Chains A and B, each alone.
Chain A
Amino acid sequence: MFFVMNSQFYCGFNRYKRMCINSKKMEKNEKLIELRGITKEFDGTPVLTDLNLYILDKEFVTLLGPSGCGKTTTLRLIGGFETPDKGDVFFEGKRITDLPPYKRPVNTVFQKYALFPHLNVYENVAFALRLGKVAEKEIARRVKEMLKIVNLEGFERRNVEKLSGGQQQRVAIARALVNQPRVLLLDEPLGALDLKLRKDMQVELKKIQQRMGITFVYVTHDQEEALSMSDTVVVMDNGVIQQIGTPEDIYNEPKNAFVADFIGESNILDGIMHADKLVEFSGHTLECVDGGFEKDEPVDVVIRPEDVDIVPLGSVPIHGVVNTVTFKGVHYEIIVDVQGFKWMVQTTDYAAPGTEVGLRILPDEIHIMKKSKYSDLYGDYSTYFDEMDKSGAEATGDEN
């Protein structure tokens, strides 16, 4: 999945480096939603532990994490479907912890849509408007406008159960947006769609968010989706926020081994920080750009596969034996054995299996992370593929 993102985002793989770091910065906005010190348990099992998070107005925030990490529960706390055991939820500074869902200025696009089967497309979208004293003409105008935004003109009289997954998805979005909520909550909205449709809908959703100028809080376990759509990504695991940042921050400067592992592929190595900007790993001491650690502090070193260059033996200190080479289209995926630790290298250069090669890593491609409880969990090169598939299957069931 990550690979697809590569081809979409970077043209010229080795030239990529970190140019996206200069991308747009969030405008300074008011805190719209704030979660303070939230703790939540289900039958004695902690789901969220002392969670603190704020969401700015007009921001696209993604809660990202594996199945069971608490992201859906966080969303449901904002929607009003759950109340925290401890802590409070604020909306524009006002405490709304105990406010029922129907009094909150947020709307939700549910996993699997939850469209009303007894109503047609038009009536599903008009549902919220019919509760107020909105005139029939006004309802018709707004439903029509919404259906136009989600590209479903002419579907008014259709039975929602006869629509395709993508169409049901659009109805759900239109229904949630028709009342112009301040915030739209989306719970794995694209989970049930096939890859192509998911890609189209990602672009579509982002467009809708920008056009309507509302805040989106988006839950997903798909890291590629999170990176490509969000202003801010909140990476969660085990009911705890691991890192909050822009997609670029999360990818380029992961805070710990979990984030590095979950977001894309990575080589996570044990290292020792000898001094500022000087780190030892794989038996060699290299120059890096990070600092602020204690002298000789043990650290985790993350090196992204696409940041490693294969160079002739002898020109750089780190070297290893090519184990396998897999052609991936845009690049080769080369597994290199360096003193027993297998590195993943993604490069357009070819190296034959069995040959000894040097691995060049530039100082700014070496990312230093503090040791955490996630250290040493990921041997060899690490990828979240297997776990992703598993959590994908679970996510279609009832999470939390």
Chain B
Amino acid sequence: MKTKSYMARIMAAPHILWAILFIAAPMLFVLYYSFTDASGAFSTENLRLLLDAKYLTIFLRSMAFALVATVICLLVAYPLAYAISRATPRAQKVYMMLIMLPMWMNFLIRTYSIMAILEDNGFLNTILNSLGIPSVHIINTSAAVIFGMIYNYLPYMVLPIYTVLSRLDVRLLEASADLGCTPAQTFTRVVMPLSRSGVVSGVTMVFVPSVSTFYISQKLGGAKYDLIGDSIERQFQSAYNYNLGAAMSLVLMVIILISMAIMNRYSDGEGGLVA
């Protein structure tokens, strides 16, 4: 027994080392920088600065954009995942492949492609004009930023919902119909409750990256809609204010932890990707 646990420890060593180096240490650095000033002395100045209206606006905007993107993702992804899960096994594979395909492309290239599509003289307006519909101005608006988020993170919503729906036993739907449920009642009373864990996973997997995203807003929002991710990037890359950047990261982490805690309250703890 003793040798076994000894072996187990040796086996676990690389992973523990990995976790210390790349998870625990960076967190400690974030904490350290958040509560120090440029000279390294203890300070709460960074966090106090974040209460400034300028930064509060950024935080609230980030959360609002992420929330809208998440809700739209859910509304699009659920029917999509449901339709895919009811297709033949062969078709299911093809559809899921199509959903995953954009993720094989680089994030920057995807974002640039969306720019090209949404531009005033872009692909979208060319098509609209050829159909005799007047051009729409989308690029450099908040709609473009949210569209970018939806486009990038939709697969993360489809995947977990599809997973729970495809595992749904058809006989449960038959049992529901047998007991008197119309198709709509079957959906609300059986399908929805049983796919909740997938929805919770999907919402978490879309909201978390959306709220911390950067670059999308710079490229699609014309730098008009500063988000937390962009601000953090700027503090580290341009302003060299590591302390303020770290403080922002810390607050963002807290926001994410709180939203995940809220989401997990709605999860039944089964089938979901968030434990």
Residues of A within 8 A of B (CB): 79-81, 100-102, 106-108, 110-112, 114-118, 127-128, 131-132, 175-176, 179
Please name 16 further chain A to chain B contacts, defined as beta carbons within 8 Å, in addition to the given A102-B178, A108-B174, sorted by A numbering: A79-B178, A80-B178, A81-B178, A102-B180, A102-B181, A102-B185, A106-B178, A114-B174, A115-B175, A116-B175, A117-B172, A118-B193, A118-B268, A127-B189, A128-B180, A176-B178
- B169 interfacial contact with A, CB 8 Å: yes
Q: Is the CB of B194 within 8 A of A100?
A: no
Can you list 23 residue pairs at the A/B interface with Cβ under 8 Å?
A79-B178, A80-B177, A81-B174, A81-B178, A100-B177, A101-B174, A101-B177, A102-B178, A106-B178, A107-B179, A108-B178, A110-B171, A114-B169, A114-B171, A114-B174, A116-B172, A116-B175, A116-B176, A116-B194, A118-B190, A118-B194, A131-B179, A176-B179
The residues of B with any CB-CB pair to A shorter than 8 Å are 169, 171-172, 174-182, 185, 189-190, 193-194, 268
- A102: chain B residues at CB < 8 Å are 177-182, 185
Contact B171–A179 (Cβ < 8 Å): no
A179–B179 Cα distance when bound, in Å, is 8
Q: How far is the CA of A102 from the CA of B190 in the complex (A)?
A: 14
The complex places the Cα of A307 from the Cα of B7 at a distance, in Å, of 70
Whether the pair B193, A108 counts as a contact (CB closer than 8 A) is no
A114, B175: Cα distance in complex, Å: 7
Which residues of the partner chain A approach B194 to less than 8 Å between Cβ atoms? 116-118
Residues in B with CB closer than 8 Å to A110 are 171, 174-175, 178
> Which residue of chain B lies nearest to A175 when distances are taken between CB atoms in the complex?
B179
Closest to A128 in B: B179
How many Å from the CB of A56 to the closest CB on chain B?
22
Chain B neighbourhood of A127, CB < 8 A: 176, 179, 189
Contacts of A101 in B (CB 8 A): 174, 177-178
> Would you call B171 and A112 a contact (CB within 8 A)?
yes
Rounded to whole angstroms, the CA-CA distance of A83 and B181 in the bound complex is: 19
Q: In the assembly, what is the distance between CA of A111 and CA of B175, in Å?
A: 11
Q: How far is the CA of A336 from the CA of B6 in the complex (A)?
A: 68
Question: Would you give the shortest CB distance from B165 to chain A, in whole angstroms?
Answer: 14
Instruction: Specify the chain A residue showing the minimal Cβ separation from B175.
Output: A114
- A100 to B184: give the CA distance in the assembly, Å: 13
Decide if A131 touches B180 in the complex (CB within 8 Å).
Answer: yes
In angstroms, how far is the closest chain B Cβ from the Cβ of A23?
Answer: 33
Which residues of the other chain, A, contact B171 by a CB distance below 8 angstroms?
110-112, 114
Most buried by A among B178, B185, B268: B178
Q: Given that A81-B174, A102-B177, A110-B171 are known contacts, is A116 also in contact with B190, CB under 8 Å in the complex?
A: yes
The distance in angstroms between the C-alpha atoms of A92 and B17, with both chains bound, is 74
Question: Of all chain B residues, which has the CB nearest A119?
Answer: B193
A110 to B175, CA, bound (A): 8
- The 3 lowest CB-CB distance pairs between A and B, nearest first, are A114-B171, A128-B179, A101-B177
> Chain B contacts of A132 at CB under 8 A?
180
Chain A hits for B174, CB < 8 A:
79, 81, 101, 108, 110, 114
Question: Could you tell me the distance in whole angstroms from the C-beta of B197 to the nearest C-beta in chain A?
Answer: 10
- Chain A residue, CB-CB nearest to B192: A118
- The smallest beta-carbon distance between A113 and chain B, in angstroms, is 9
Interface centre among B172, B177, B189 (most CB of A within 10 A): B177
**Given A116-B172, A118-B193; A107-B177 close (CB under 8 Å):** no
CA distance A207 to B235 in the complex (A): 78
Residues of chain A contacted by B169 (CB below 8 angstroms): 114
> Do the beta carbons of B178 and A107 come within 8 Å of each other?
yes
Q: Which of B180, B182, B268 has the most CB of A within 10 A?
A: B180
With both chains docked as a complex, state the minimum distance between the C-beta of A339 and any C-beta of chain B, in angstroms.
Answer: 53
